Structure 1
Amino acid sequence: MKLMAPGTELDGFTIEDCIHSGGMAHIYRVRYSRGAPDPGFAMVMKVPRMTAGDGAENIVSFEVEHQILQIVAGPHVPRFVAAGDLQHVPYLVMEYVQGQTLQHWLDLPQRPGADEVARLGVAVALAAHSLHQQNTVHLDLKPANVLMRTDGTAVLLDFGLSCNALYPDLLAEQLRKAVGSPAWIAPEQVVGIRGDPRSDIFAIGVMLYQLATGELPFGTPETAGGLRQRLWMDPLPPRKRQPQLPPWLQEVILRCLEPEAAKRYPSAAHLALDLRHPEQVVLTERGRRTEGTGLGTHLKRWLKAAGMDYRPSPLPARQIAEVPIVMVALPHEDITDATLYSLRQAAARSLGTRPGARLACVTVISPGQTSPASDDSSETSVHRRHLARLQLWAQPLALPGHQSSCHVIESGDVAEALVNFAVGNRVNVLVLGAATHGLKLQRLLATVPIKVAMAAPCTVVLVKQALPFELLTEPPPDGPAAR
């Protein structure tokens, strides 16, 4: 369809100007015509290119985006307004989101530092996690499709290749081939496997690699054979290209880029938690590597990849719910050994039934505990002491297949600090003891667990000591009560 001139009216919308003209679509700034009420936000109209020379995927992609935009919600997607049908003029009207795409950071003369890469990565991961919780997988994440608002949150754009597990996958039905942008497509997408949220994690890994090194990890392959190589090939380690990069960042990036989805982060929330707390990233050979993977490893992966073919994926929301982030809130004082034991037992039960779940141990200390008066009471010393206590408490919970981290938060409001951590890190289960958390007034003993239970966005398990401590040295048949 040819470009529409400013002032053109279409189905109650007035075209203002064309702000983007690409190979797939034209995007216009629009407003309501004839005195319609103001929606409260700026709008754009996306009109797909559908000329005789365009492939069927353009039509299917329009139908997919039309479907997806109406069923996803939240701050990480544009708000849907209206749509035109294929028989007249196909278009999508949606919220116009102000901001810069990730391409802006890639075009800067200097590479962003590790902290900036991590900040951008957290925003994209949380946006992807929000989609996955709605049973939607984007499947075309790339710098041009990620918009950063001025407040630091990410908005995902262009859902033409996406799929929602509760609706028909039109692209899978129409096109039995790899669908996606070659530089960012995940290995399983290459063989037609759609709907796995870890495919988006792979794409985020490609973008993190770009931001950190200025290069694409797999180049821009143009053939099916070139695409299939990522089923068994590893990219050059980022620190080989940029030696100044910290090992923790390489660890995170290469974990995202694992050829097998099962070896990547189990959810985008897990990825965001590592990027937010680099000091807690567990370094493996991935983070220390400065040379490429050996031929033997590639050969084993090649043989395994030869048997991969299309198969349906589970519900994304169910898949990420099976690998929750379990948060345990531990008081730093006024707590008995019996309560500590009961908390550990409750945490073990929450982790043990969910392979891949992550444990986050959190304690909140008051600002008055840190003082520069002496080395023993310095902020660094106090935090280190409480961190060591958390790590000691968590040692028995070092179960195979579970990652854990410990966090000391300084705040005057314990309940608010715990809730904020749970919200910010997309915690699924919060295990909380009926303890004082340092509050000295006995009449306020119950306020912390009650406030947390009322405000937390997740399941809260309130643990109370059920047996005398002398009996806890021999675990009872059913374990201590937790409720």
Structure 2
Amino acid sequence: MDAHYGRYRIVEELGKGAMGVVYKAHDPQIDRMIALKVLRPDRVTSDAFVARFLKEARAIGRLSHPHIVTIYDAGEDQGTIYIAMEYLEGVPLNEVIRNDRPDAARSIDLARRIALTLDYAHRQGIVHRDIKPSNILITAEGQVKLTDFGIARIEEAAAGQETQAGEILGTPLYMSPEQVMGQSVDGRSDLFSLGVILYEMVVGRRPFTGDSIAAIFHAITRGTPEAPEQVDPFLPKSLSGLILKSLAKDPAERFQTGEQMAAALAEALAALKAPAGKTTTPRKRASSRRLVPAFGLLLVVLLVAGGYWAMGRQPNSSAVDKTASAPPGNAAPGNTATPLQAAELSLLKVSSEPPGADIYVNEGHKGRTPMDLALPQGKYELRLDLEGYLEWQAQVQVDAEGETPLNITLWPKQ
């Protein structure tokens, strides 16, 4: 591969995400390998966004902590933006959990170090917004490294300028209730996500699950996870209480700082090792019970209106539903069965990442993404279904004429 961004030569692709691609690249200026994150060109929405992106990237680059991957540089090239970061070899925590789940003592120690790292960043005014196991790297030396630190914050700058219909930042399984509800977040949201990770490491399964995005969101905002001590009777009640405190729905009831959480974790670790001064020995864990899918269905209400534009990939095909009828309660008298005039319709341009998802409007199958739907103004039940991915469902309010892009990121089943 002979491609460049700025002075950096691309060596190989390391991974893809909803916002861009991460490459292993070579920096010839100082002859070292780096990780280069390149934003998808369709995410670059305006000169103002580019300026803000670069400003925030450089601000985050001033973070200096042994457990945070260093950002070296940020720039603009080939119609997009890139960030040059420290290149590390290691294993993401999600693979560690899947292949060789750490015992309680190791889990507590990992969470304690992450909490202290988050405390440092929060005191610098930086909130991660996407704490999850795949963003935590365990190096060959056993060190913890938080990756993509602040990248979610940079990317959210776009959402602050223009509403991304159908998109919610963060990874559903690890999101805080305030993220799910689209509220402003602070460092306590990161600590909630860390609590989800700690629960997963200690218990062996996640506290909030479901068969669809809506079910997961319902569990996060309404569900009460089973106490870890009830799943594994070997776990101390104090540790179980600590984990549940970190998962409180109300941010005011959680740990208020990473330092507070780290101190509580240090006490829990000491208590775990305390009996007769013995070190912990491997023991059989209680078998994990499958979490019953969350009851009910939470529908995410999205405002789809003129002037609110999604920044996702634009559809590349068109299949307009010319005979769409108004939803119940919204049809004009005497006009429920006749084709609507084009002037009365709003064009909803539905796309998904990945593409090819089946589109259902009010439970009627319309086709597959990407697709253009001509709909009368009103409220609709919109559902996307793609094999291997969580079902996406929402209430969509269409209340303006013209074209409205709706880009939806589908999450793989885990």
TM bracket, shorter-chain basis: 0.5 to 0.7
Residue in 2 aligned with 1:9?
4
Name which one, 1 or 2, has greater alpha-carbon Rg.
1
Match of 2:57 among 48, 54, 69: 69
Post-superposition CA distance 1:257-315 (Å, at most 9, x none):
0111111111111111111121778xxxxxxxxx9xxxxxx9xxx9xxxxxxxxxxxxx
Q: Match of 2:6, as an amino acid?
A: D
For normalisation by structure 2, the TM-score amounts to 0.56
Residue in 2 aligned with 1:191?
181
Label 1:120 to 1:12 Cα distance change in 2 as closer, same or farther (>3 A). same
Give the number of the structure whose residues are more often helix, by fraction: 1
Contact 2:6–2:76 under 8 Å retained in 1: no
Residue in 2 aligned with 1:179?
169
Label 1:22 to 1:223 Cα distance change in 2 as closer, same or farther (>3 A). closer
Residue in 2 aligned with 1:212?
202
- Say whether 1:99 aligns with 2:90: yes
Residue in 1 aligned with 2:26?
31
Q: State how far apart, in whole Å, the 1-side matches of 2:3 and 2:188 are.
A: 43
Label 1:274 to 1:207 Cα distance change in 2 as closer, same or farther (>3 A). same
Matches within 5 A, 1:404-483: none
Contact 1:84–1:90 under 8 Å retained in 2: yes
Matches within 5 A, 1:179-328: 179-220=169-210, 222-224=212-214, 226-278=216-268
Greater Cα shift, 182-191 or 231-240: 231-240
Q: Match of 1:37, as an amino acid?
A: I
Contact 2:210–2:219 under 8 Å retained in 1: no
Label 1:79 to 1:186 Cα distance change in 2 as closer, same or farther (>3 A). same
Contact 1:43–1:96 under 8 Å retained in 2: yes
Residue in 2 aligned with 1:481?
none
Matches within 5 A, 1:320-339: none
Alignment length (residue pairs): 268
Post-superposition CA distance 1:223-281 (Å, at most 9, x none):
45641442332112223333322222211111100111111111111111111121778
Q: State how far apart, in whole Å, the 2-side matches of 1:213 and 1:60 are.
A: 45
Label 1:173 to 1:10 Cα distance change in 2 as closer, same or farther (>3 A). closer
- Which ranges of structure 2 fall in alignment gaps of 5 or more residues? 272-288, 290-294, 299-414
Deviation at 1:202, TM superposition (A): 0.4
Post-superposition CA distance 1:78-113 (Å, at most 9, x none):
22233342762432211113332211321125x321
Contact 2:108–2:265 under 8 Å retained in 1: yes
Greater Cα shift, 271-280 or 210-219: 271-280
| Sequence identity (%) | 26
Q: State how far apart, in whole Å, the 2-side matches of 1:154 and 1:173 are.
A: 34
Contact 1:83–1:91 under 8 Å retained in 2: yes
Deviation at 1:209, TM superposition (A): 0.8
Q: State how far apart, in whole Å, the 1-side matches of 2:69 and 2:54 are.
A: 12
RMSD of equivalent CA atoms: 3.5
Q: State how far apart, in whole Å, the 2-side matches of 1:103 and 1:17 are.
A: 22
Match of 1:141 among 131, 134, 144: 131
Aligned residue for 1:77, secondary structure, equals coil
Residue in 2 aligned with 1:19?
14
Q: State how far apart, in whole Å, the 2-side matches of 1:63 and 1:213 are.
A: 44
Label 1:186 to 1:10 Cα distance change in 2 as closer, same or farther (>3 A). closer
Contact 1:61–1:161 under 8 Å retained in 2: no
Q: Match of 1:13, as an amino acid?
A: Y
Q: Match of 1:28, as an amino acid?
A: Y
Aligned residue for 1:230, secondary structure, equals helix
Contact 2:209–2:216 under 8 Å retained in 1: no
Post-superposition CA distance 1:371-406 (Å, at most 9, x none):
xxxxxxxxxxxxxxxxxxxxxxxxxxxxxxxxxxxx
Deviation at 1:29, TM superposition (A): 1.6
Residue in 2 aligned with 1:398?
none
Q: State how far apart, in whole Å, the 1-side matches of 2:172 and 2:58 are.
A: 27
Aligned residue for 2:26, secondary structure, equals strand
Aligned residue for 1:208, secondary structure, equals helix
- Which ranges of structure 1 fall in alignment gaps of 5 or more residues? 282-290, 292-297, 303-483
- Say whether 1:108 aligns with 2:99: yes
Contact 1:81–1:95 under 8 Å retained in 2: yes
Contact 2:122–2:187 under 8 Å retained in 1: yes
Q: Match of 1:48, as an amino acid?
A: L
Contact 1:16–1:31 under 8 Å retained in 2: yes
Contact 2:109–2:269 under 8 Å retained in 1: no
Match of 2:74 among 36, 59, 83: 83
Label 1:128 to 1:220 Cα distance change in 2 as closer, same or farther (>3 A). farther
Deviation at 1:119, TM superposition (A): 1.0
Label 1:239 to 1:259 Cα distance change in 2 as closer, same or farther (>3 A). same
Label 1:65 to 1:273 Cα distance change in 2 as closer, same or farther (>3 A). farther
Q: Match of 1:71, as an amino acid?
A: A
Aligned residue for 2:37, secondary structure, equals strand
